[in-house]
Amino acid sequence: MIGVQEEAVIQALGTDERYLALVARRSRLAWLLSAIIFFAYVAYLLLIAFDKALLGTPIAGGVTSWGIPIGLGLILLAIALTGVYVAHANRHHDGLMTEILKDYGA
């Protein structure tokens, strides 16, 4: 698929309702997940900057402080969110996109 034909497909796709809805849906998910990790990290930094003692508070009388599960939790959150995105893209997005593209012979 080259040249003029490809340009025509791209132009047609750009106004296809199903395509627009699908892209908008993924875009919403992508921004939502970005906002989650962004603000989670910013909240963590602000907590460190303004209330160091809170993160140093021991959990249930032990030595381990609240900072440990929060910090490690942030690492796990980053991995989990990438997993959510990839799972969504693989399960829902790719199939629907392939179907739409098939209608245009792409």
Partner 1 sequence: MRVRVAALAAVSVSFIPLPAWAAALEGQAQRQPVNWIAIAMFVAFVGLTLWITKVAAARTRTASDFYTAGGGISGFQNGLAMAGDYMSAASFLGISAQIFSDGYDGLIYSTGFLVGWPILLFLMAERLRNLGRFTFADVASYRFAQPPVRSFAAISTLLVVSFYLIAQMVGAGQLIKLLFGLPYAVAVLIVGALMMLYVLFGGMRATTWVQIIKAVLLLGGASFMALMVLAQMGFSLETLFSRAVEVKAQSALSGGATAVEAAERGRSIMAPGNFIKDPVSALSFGLALMLGTAGLPHILMRFFTVPDAKEARKSVLWATGWIGYFYILTFIIGFGAIVLVGTESRYLDSGGALSGGGNMAAIHLAHAIGGDAFLGFISAVAFATILAVVAGLTLSAASAVSHDLYATVFKHGRASSTDELRVSRVTTVALGVLAVLLGLLFEKQNVAFMVSLAFALAASGNFPVLILSLLWSGCTTRGAAWGGIIGLLTAFVLTLLSPAVWTNTFDLGLAPFPYSSAALFSVPAGFIAIWLISLLDQSPRAAIDKAGYPAQRVRAETGVGAFAAIDH
Q: Which two tokens stand for residue 87?
A: 């799972």
- Of 17, 18, 21, 30, which lies in the binding site for partner 1, with binding defined by CB under 8 A? 30
- Of 31, 95, 99, 103, which lies in the binding site for partner 1, with binding defined by CB under 8 A? 31
Least distance to partner 1, CB of residue 17, Å: 14
Quick one: the chain helix, strand, coil %, rounded to 5?
80, 0, 15
Q: Residue 65 or residue 92: which is nearer to partner 1 going by CB? A: 65
Q: Where in 64-103 is the site for partner 1 (CB under 8 A)? A: 64-65, 67-68, 71-72, 74-76, 78-79, 81-83, 85-86, 89-90, 94, 97, 101
The single residue listed with the structure tokens 């303004």 is 50
104 DSSP 8-state letter: T
The single residue listed with the structure tokens 């199939």 is 95
